[in-house]
Structure 1
Amino acid sequence: MSASAPITQDLVTIPRKLPEGRINLVGLTREALRETLVAHGTPEKQAKMRVAQLWQWIYHRGARDFAEMTNLSKAYRAELARHFTIEIPEVVSKQVSADGTRKYLVRIAGGHEVETVYIPEEGRGTLCISSQVGCTLTCSFCHTGTQKLVRNLTAGEIVGQVMAARDDLDEWPRPGEGMGERPRLISNIVLMGMGEPLYNFENVRDAMQIAMDGEGISLSRRRITLSTSGVVPEIIRCAEEIGCLLAVSFHATTDEVRDRLVPINRKWNIATLLDALRAYPRLSNSERITFEYVMLKDVNDSDADARRLVRLIAGIPAKINLIPFNEWPGAPYERSDWERIEAFADILYKAGYAAPIRTPRGEDIMAACGQLKSATERAKKRRAEIEAEAGL
C-alpha cells in the first residue's frame, strides 16, 4: 500500500435516486429521513412522528410497500409512494452448507455483487456482512483480497443485507407479534465480509446506527463486531461514533511477516496499531479486543510466535481467535496441522488468554473466513484462465 493512499474512501451518504425518480428510504439515518420527508412536503410539526412511524414499519416490521402502513392515512401513503421507495439488495442466489451455513450472493446498484453469510449456532445466529465490493488491502492469505476494489457500499446496501437475510429466515414479526416473542435468528452481526469497513466509515457507521436503533432491528452494540486490518486513524473514531466491539486481523507477530500477510502494516506497523488498540476499550467501554489470527503452516504458527504474541498484547484486554486457514484455489499457504494449532492455543491459554480455535464453517460452499469473493469475479477469473490456456 502506497504512502499516498487515502485514509478513507467514504461515499457521501445521500438518498439514492432510482430510475423512476423516487428516493430509497433504506439506509437514511433518522435525521436524514426527517430532512428528506420535509423536503418532499411533510409538515415540520409532523416530521418527527412520521419518522417514528416509518422507522417501525421499515426496520421493525420489514414492510416494503407503503400500502401496508395502516396507521398512516391513505392520502399520505399515496404521497409517500409517489416520492419514495423501500428497496434492499436483491438476493441472486443462496447456497446452504452441510453445516447449515447460508451464503447469499447479493446484487446491488450497478449490477455489482457481494456475499453475505449467515452462520447458525446453538442459541445464536451470526450474520457476516460486506462493506465494499472487492477489497483494497490485498492480504495475501485472503481470497477476497484477490478481487480488486470496485466501490464502497452505501449505508442502505449494508443494512439491506441484514434485511435480506431476515427475509430469507422469516425473522420479521408476524401480525400481532411484539418484539422478543420469538427467538432471534440473527442475534449478532460481524463486519467481516468483503472489504475493509474502516475504509468506508461513514456508511458503515450509519448502517450500524440503524441496526442498533431500539425501535427497529434493535441489536445491541455488544452484538456487533467490526473487523479491521488496522486502519489506525479510524479506530478511535470507531470507538466514539459506533462503539461496537472491535476485532483486528492481526495474523503475525513481527513486522516482517505481517508486511507480507497484511500489507497495510507497511503504513501502520504493529507498534502503532497496538498503541491505538490500548485506547479502544476505555473509549468504547468494550470488554476486550478480539485478535484474529489465521494459522498458516510454517509461517506464523511456531511456539516462538505464540510467546511473542503474548508479550505484544500485554496490557490490552483481549481474546485471540485462532482461525485454521480456509484454503481456496491457488492459495499460496497451507493450514497449520491441528496439533500445532492446539499447541499454539495452549501457550496462549497458560498465559491467561481465551484462545478458542474457530471451527471452519461453510467451507463446502466457499463461505468460510477469507473465502468470500463474488461469483461473477470467480467466473471472470475462470474465463480468463481458460482463454489464456487456449492462447486467445
Structure 2
Amino acid sequence: MPATAPITQDVLTLPRKLAEAGLPNIVGLTRDALREALIAAGTPERQAKMRVGQIWSWIYHRGVQDFAAMTNLSKEYRALLAQNFSIGRPEIVTRQVSSDGTRKYLLRIEGGHEVEAVYIPDDDRGTLCISSQVGCTLTCSFCHTGTQKLVRNLTAAEIVGQILVARDDLSEWGREPAAKRFITNIVLMGMGEPLYNTDNVRDAMLIAMDGDGIAISRRRVTLSTSGIVPEIARVGAEIGCLLAISFHATTDEVRDKLVPINRKYKIAELLDACRAYPRLSNSERITFEYVMLKGVNDTDADARRLVKLIAGIPAKINLIPFNPWPGAPYERSDADRITAFADIVNRAGYASPVRTPRGEDIMAACGQLKSATERARRQKTGALPPA
C-alpha cells in the first residue's frame, strides 16, 4: 500500500481542486471498475468489495461530493481516496425555470464543452431528459440539436453526472421511499444519438438503475434512438431499458430527408430490429416518436401507413407537435390535423397521446436543445438570428 500522507482538511474537502489537478473521477465507474481502481490505489483486495459498497452508497444514494463526508470510513482511508480520486460533477452554467415548472440546465464538462439536460415535472412523475453527446452527428432536419456539429461523446461520468446535478438542484438526496422522489424517470432524449455512444450510455444507466444507489427502475429508463439498427439488440441485452424510436415518417423517401440515418438503415430493417427487441410485450412497449410537421408527414394516408408498418409490434405512438426554433424550415401541424391523425391511430388500437410541449419559453422542449455557447457563436457570426 502506498504511504499515506498526513491528513489535512484541504485534502479531504476540496474535490473540485483535486479534479482540476487531474485526479481520476470516481463517478461513472462500474462496480467492477471501481473495485479495480481501489485495489490499484492501495485498498487490500480482501476489503475491496466492501469498500465499493460503502463508497457507492455515499456517492449515489446520499449524493456526497467529498470524501470527508464518508464517515463510516477511517480518516486514513478517506485521505487515501482523496489523494487518488476526485468526485466530479458537471458544472451548472445556467439554470432556467419555465412558467410550467420545467427546468433546463446548461452544464459545462471537461474541455469547456457544454450540454443541456431538462427536468420535466408532472403530477404523477418527474422526468429527467439527459444528453449523450456534445452536439449530434445525425443532422435530423427538424431538430435544433442536429444543426450543432458533433464535438465528442460524453463519458459515463458526464452522463450519470447530469442525474447527480439535477438531484442536487432538486434537494432529492435521502428522499425515501422512492415514490416521493422528484426524479422518477430518465429519458435519453437530449443532445446526441445514444447508440453512437453505447458503451458509456450502458455504464451510466447501469449505475442509475443500481438498487443500492440512484435506484431508477429499468422500466422507468427510456432510450431514444433514430435507428442505429446494429446497436438496438445490444440495448436490450446489456441495458434492458425501454426503447423509443425517433420515427417521424412512413416512407423511406420522406424519412431520408427528416432522419438522414434512414439512408443507411431503412424503415423495414429498423422495424425488424424492433420486433426482435427483448422482453417486448404490452407492458414493455416500444414508443414510436412522431413529430407533426405541417404538410410533410401529417396526412390521413400517413396515419394509415404508420399503423400498417408497426402492425404486430406492442407499441404506442407519441405524437409531438413540432417545437419551433430560430431558422427552422418547418411549421407545426394544425391542431385539428393532429387530432385527426391521432384518431386514425387510436381506432387501429394504438395509444397515441399528443405530447404537451413543455418548456418552450426557455427552449427546453423536444428538439430545441442546443448548447448556449454554440448558439451564441452562430449568432455572433450571423449564421443564426437571436433566439
TM-score, normalised on structure 2? Answer: 0.93
The alpha carbon displacement at 1:286 in A equals 6.2
Instruction: State how 1:1-392 maps to structure 2 within 5 Å.
Output: 18-173=19-174, 179-180=176-177, 183-282=180-279, 287-385=284-382
For residues 384 and 20 of structure 1, what CA distance do their matches in structure 2 show? Answer: 35
| Rounded Cα–Cα distance in structure 1 between residues aligned with 2:281 and 2:57 | 27
Give the direction of change, closer, same or farther, for the CA distance of 1:23–1:386 in structure 2 (3 Å limit).
closer
Paired amino acid for 1:364 = D
- Give the Å deviation of 1:202: 0.3
- Alignment root-mean-square deviation, CA: 1.6
Cα contact 1:232–1:268 (8 A) shared by 2: yes
Q: How far apart are the structure 2 equivalents of 1:196 and 1:181?
A: 29
Give the secondary structure class of the aligned counterpart of 2:382. helix
SS of alignment partner, residue 277 of structure 2: helix
Contact 2:133 2:154 (8 Å CA) reproduced: yes
Confirm or deny: 8 A CA contact 1:239 1:283 kept in the other structure. Answer: no
Assess, with a 3 A threshold, how the Cα gap between structure 1 residues 116 and 210 changes in structure 2: closer, same or farther.
same
Separation (CA, whole Å) in 2 of partners of 1:321 and 1:246: 13
What SS does structure 2 have at the residue aligned with 1:371?
coil
2-structure distance, mates of 1:285, 1:24: 40
Kindly tell me: are residues 288 and 75 of structure 1, through their superposed partners in 2, closer, same or farther at Cα, counting changes over 3 Å?
A: same
Q: Secondary structure at the match of 2:222?
A: strand
SS of the residue 1:103 aligns to: strand
- Equivalence for 1:5: none
TM-score by length of 1: 0.92
Cα drift, residue 181 of structure 1: 7.0
One-letter identity of the residue aligned with 2:204:
A
- Is the 8 Å Cα contact of residues 282 and 315 (structure 2) preserved in structure 1? no
The count of corresponding residues between Structure 1 and Structure 2 is 368
The change in CA–CA distance for 1:292 and 1:383 in structure 2 (over 3 A counts) is: same
The CA deviation string for residues 328-370 of structure 1, in whole angstroms up to 9 with x for no partner, is 0100000000000000000000000000000000000000000
Residue-by-residue CA offset, 1:166-209 (whole Å, 9 max, x unaligned): 00000001xxx7x4177110000000000000000000000000
CA contact (8 A) 2:280 2:286 kept: no
Rounded to whole Å, the distance in 1 between the matches of 2:32 and 2:86 is 18
Q: 1:84 to 1:326 in 2, by over 3 A?
A: same
Q: Following the alignment from structure 2 to structure 1, what is the Cα–Cα distance between the partners of residues 314 and 347?
A: 16
1:126 Cα deviation (Å)? 0.2
Secondary structure, counterpart of 1:280 in structure 2: coil
Q: 1:248 and 1:225 mapped to 2: Cα distance? A: 10
Letter in 2 for 1:20: A
CA, structure 1 residues 285+111, in 2 after alignment: closer, same or farther (shift >3 Å)? farther
Q: Structure 1 unaligned runs (5+)?
A: 1-16
**Would the aligned equivalents of 1:91 and 1:104 in 2 still touch at CA under 8 Å?**
yes
Cα deviation for residue 21 of structure 1 reads 3.7
* Deviations 1:61-92, CA, capped at 9 Å, x for gaps: 00011111110011111111111110110011
Q: Is the 8 A contact 2:363 2:369 kept in 1?
A: yes
After superposition, what is the alpha-carbon deviation per residue over 1:211-264, rounded to whole angstroms, capped at 9, x for unaligned? 000000000000000000000000001000000000000000000000000000
User: Structure 1's 81 and 240: CA in aligned 2 closer, same or farther, altered over 3 A?
Assistant: same
Query: Structure 1 residue runs of 4+, over 3 Å off?
Result: 281-286
Q: Percent identity?
A: 76
